[in-house]
Amino acid sequence: MDESLLLKAALVTAILGIIALIVIIKTTDIQEININQAKASEEGETIRITGIVERVTSKEGFSIISIKKEEEISIVLFDSINLSKGQRVEITGKTQDYKGTKELVADKIMVK
């Protein structure tokens, strides 16, 4: 096989792969919503919110984080975490009703 033809085929394949990755990222991006919208969302819906850590409570096997933007929401994380009051965080997870209150079960927490 001609070396230039092989190089062209590899280049076209790489470009198509990059385009496919961009399309996948654009279509699977979770939009950030505010805490009011999170509290009104359906149970089990995946959402992303940002806010300031107000309180962190660590228990055996899980942590509860309260974050605040305009309002406050509780975040449940089934792991220990080292956060401090005042840190800005971005949290992605699924909404859940717990004793009549909307919470967010965290899949991913990033300190900003």
Tens digits of per-residue pLDDT, 48-90? Answer: 888 899 989 888 888 888 988 778 888 888 887 888 889 999 8
DSSP 63-84: EEEEEESSSEEEEEESS-----
| Banded pLDDT at 14 (limits 50, 70, 90) | very high
The architecture that CATH gives domain 35-111 is Beta Barrel (2.40)
Overall pTM surpassing 0.85 (yes/no):
no
Q: How far is 89 from 50, CA to CA, in rounded Å?
A: 6
The candidate with the shortest Cα–Cα distance to 66, out of 80, 84, 48, is 84
Domain layout of the chain by residue ranges: 1-30, 35-111
**pLDDT value at 93 more than 80:** yes
**pLDDT value at 11 more than 90:** yes
